[in-house]
């Protein structure tokens, strides 16, 4: 409440508005409280009483002398003692403009829990129910240590679906993930949710850094080295060279017709030429014969998507061979895709000399 144009406020013996006017003339005061805490206020020409009632208690301005501790995690949850004066029941506390939970309160002390907040130093403000407030500059939000898991990644296999989750801890979820240096193997991507997945297109060792960012902008990073192999870790078994398919032969599952450009053909290798069920890959000699246009043979596990990397490239009319390792799917099958124009053809010979299991 604000009293305007008052000369002074004092205690008086008046018990009614009329008595107050008489006192006002004789004692020259413009407002006073009587013994029942009623407030009397007169107008400027001392002719009438403007206010006569029992007002809400006048509260003093709160003050803050210290807070302890003066720092905490951006995730929030730090118990902070605020010391000062004139705190009133129902007072609210804000850290940098964000409401905090008040756990206990007395006229000189408040125990509050810091809310989550971005990093930096921000004021702590106490506001009493009458709107009067006090601020203390000096609570510093600090980023916590954010750790990524797993510490290392399992190896992948060319043309075989890869999927590995990366998680973070120590900060405030949700987290977002990104590759911040280096490069992923061709065919793999990292989602913002931390899923590393795809079908590797080429073998090699790849080094990159993944960074996780929490809800308050704090970060943690981990460097990874991911190895992509042509075949899963397995023992090699030699076989006498054996022709497993030749599309120049009479029509059949391992013979004619010739392969058509831009079309997949599937061959079941397990059970032929001594390759057992459960074999992971074969070592074979691939021969392209009589292609009607230039292209590239791509051989891969039949149940996987067609990869980008080829094994055998050729020009139109060229006969050319290459020794290669071809992964098998769980059914012991391979898919063969001639990367050349539709409507063109190429014959393929595959001679097996061993397998991995």
Structural domain total, the chain: 4
222 lies in a domain?
Answer: yes
User: Is residue 328 packed enough to be buried (19+ CB in 10 Å), middle (13-18) or exposed (0-12)?
Assistant: buried
User: In this structure, what CATH number is given to the domain that contains residue 80?
Assistant: 2.60.40.10
Assess whether 329 and 272 both reside in one domain: yes
CB atoms within 10 A of CB 52: 15
List, run by run, the mean pLDDT of 10-residue segments along the chain (357 residues): 38 50 48 56 50 53 96 97 96 96 97 97 96 94 96 89 93 97 95 94 94 97 93 84 97 97 96 95 96 95 86 95 92 96 97 94
Assess whether 72 and 124 both reside in one domain: yes
Rounded to an integer, what distance in angstroms lies between the CA atom of residue 119 and that of residue 107? Answer: 30
Looking at 214, 229, 244, the residue that finishes a domain is 229
The pLDDT score that the predictor gives to residue 27 is 46
Looking at 229, 251, 275, the residue that finishes a domain is 229
The pLDDT score that the predictor gives to residue 138 is 86
Assess whether 270 and 349 both reside in one domain: yes
Query: Tokens for 80?
Result: 């902070």
1 lies in a domain?
Answer: no
81 lies in a domain?
Answer: yes
Alpha-carbon torsion (293, 353, 267, 164), positive or negative: negative
User: What DSSP state is assigned to residue 37?
Assistant: -
The pLDDT score that the predictor gives to residue 229 is 86
pTM of the model: 0.56
3 lies in a domain?
Answer: no
Q: 323 lies in which domain range?
A: 236-356
Assess whether 179 and 290 both reside in one domain: no
Looking at 229, 252, 285, the residue that finishes a domain is 229
Assess whether 117 and 195 both reside in one domain: no
Instruction: Tell me the DSSP string of 165-195.
Output: E-EEESS-SPPEEEEEEE-PPTTEEE-TTSE
User: In this structure, what CATH number is given to the domain that contains residue 303?
Assistant: 2.60.120
User: Strands, DSSP E only, in 16-132?
Assistant: 31-33, 39-42, 49-53, 63-68, 71-73, 79-85, 92-95, 98-105, 109-113, 120-127
Assess whether 16 and 30 both reside in one domain: yes
Task: Please tell me whether residue 299 adopts helix, strand or coil conformation.
Answer: strand
The pLDDT score that the predictor gives to residue 35 is 56
């Amino acid at each position: 409440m604000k009293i305007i144009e008052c000369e002074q406020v004092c205690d008086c013996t008046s018990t009614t508005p009329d008595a107050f006017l008489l006192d006002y003339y004789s004692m020259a005061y413009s407002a006073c409280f009587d013994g029942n805490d009623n407030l009397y206020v007169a107008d400027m020409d001392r002719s009438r009483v403007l206010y006569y009632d029992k007002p809400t208690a006048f509260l003093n301005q709160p003050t803050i002398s210290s807070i302890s501790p003066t720092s905490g995690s951006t995730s929030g949850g730090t118990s902070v003692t605020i010391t000062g004066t004139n705190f009133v029941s129902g007072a609210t506390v804000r850290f940098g403009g964000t409401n905090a939970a008040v756990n206990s309160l007395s006229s000189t002390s408040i125990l509050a829990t810091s809310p989550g907040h971005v990093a930096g130093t921000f004021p702590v403000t106490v506001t009493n129910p009458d709107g009067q407030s006090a601020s203390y500059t000096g609570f510093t939000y600090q980023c916590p240590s954010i750790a990524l898991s797993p510490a290392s990644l399992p190896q992948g296999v060319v043309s075989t679906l890869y999927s590995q989750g990366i998680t973070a801890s120590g900060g405030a979820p949700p987290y977002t993930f990104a590759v911040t240096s280096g490069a992923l193997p061709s065919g793999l991507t990292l989602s913002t949710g931390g899923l590393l997945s795809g079908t590797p297109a080429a073998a090699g060792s790849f080094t990159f850094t993944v960074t996780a960012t929490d809800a308050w902008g704090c970060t943690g990073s981990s460097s990874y080295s991911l190895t992509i192999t042509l075949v899963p870790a397995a023992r090699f078994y030699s076989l006498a060279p054996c022709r497993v398919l030749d599309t120049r032969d009479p029509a059949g599952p391992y013979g004619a017709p010739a392969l058509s450009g831009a079309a997949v053909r599937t061959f079941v290798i397990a059970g032929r030429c001594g390759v057992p069920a459960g074999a992971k890959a074969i070592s074979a000699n691939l021969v392209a014969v009589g292609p009607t246009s230039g292209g590239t043979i791509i051989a891969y596990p039949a149940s996987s998507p067609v990869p980008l990397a080829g094994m055998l490239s050729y020009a139109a009319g060229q006969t050319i061979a290459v020794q290669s390792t071809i992964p098998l799917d769980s059914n012991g099958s391979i898919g063969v895709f001639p990367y050349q124009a539709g409507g063109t053809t190429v014959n393929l010979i595959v001679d097996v000399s061993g397998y991995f299991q």
